[in-house]
Structure 1
């Protein structure tokens, strides 16, 4: 048990610091240990962790069956919190695959769990709900969800996740054709991620900020933000980071 927990811990640290190949190795080792021990709860958790890592790598087709396996176990043992988290990751993956209706069903099921559970879950998963609503062309619903997520996170004191909610709020304002308001929210999100030293989230926020700046006619500042994002993304060797860097780096 100790070895499996230790590998899971190292896997989570690797995932947090975006050392995704290392995370796959640690989680795979833990999964093998807990499968041999027939520990269904830990096995499902590790399947979900592996799926999250696959999602971050951009291996979306590989993430879906891992999450489906995790969900089957979590429902069988009534692990509601982890079921909701797996549904959250499933929504993210399905949305990026273009299966937006299925993503909506997944995130709505997660939110139903959160409403009866923890405000920490609710606030975090609401941001994905906002993204799905935006993908479905429902910006008003997206804006309401993003504002609600930011408000709860502010009350909880989670500055990182509040910044993610602010960033999504900015994206929704941009979709509504209000780039100046979008700029303000993306600036706030980028400032918090910079203070917290979260390079990956800072790069994402800078890309979003640059897009909003360009749309509002502030091209010079937009290019500076894209340049900074490109420099940050060079630290990360994974395919998703590489694709994003190729997009934000001038030809």
Structure 2
């Protein structure tokens, strides 16, 4: 059996054997033959096209990241590939508890810009900043803790719902409130935003139900309890006005 030597001065000898196949890296264990056979049996070739930098994959026929016709979805894979390509020092994704602080700072700063515009009653401009903040929040690396993204996104979308409400776009305010509830169902603010939007649409009973659902998660929330009392008071006033109108119709 012959040996070939490959080492620089001062380094330890590295031996490769001419028999027994290619050497295995000390960092990479040999694949399990049974598992490898299962992987190969399940493998189905997919025709691909690539971006110019070859970091992103698309279906060959339509050049789409996600294509129902070709039954492929490369969105997650492309996102991870782009992140790793942009950070060549990363040999693998960092641990899940590593937070991209710079990304957090950008989300917070953009949201704060929206808050400043909102306080100045520049609601359309505030909506635009909240939209940018939301877009940044959902672009977090997939290996990071999901809870952080959920908290950032729900806060920004809740603020955008408030801006839509002040702009009298109650349908958009309701849609954002529903999105907040979907992301953080047990957070009272989403239910409060939903109730506000429904109140703007004159759906008093639905608004009251939205508040009651929020109270089921936070029974002592003063914002919700006071708003429920306000809705019920407004509902009673509306009913009284209807009764008075009917009474006057009968007397005429």
So what's the TM-score if we normalise by structure 1?
Answer: 0.47
Max Rg structure? 2
The structure with the largest strand share of the pair is: 2
The structure with the largest helix share of the pair is: 1
Structure with higher RCO (Cα < 8 A, 6+ apart): 1
So what's the TM-score if we normalise by structure 2?
Answer: 0.47
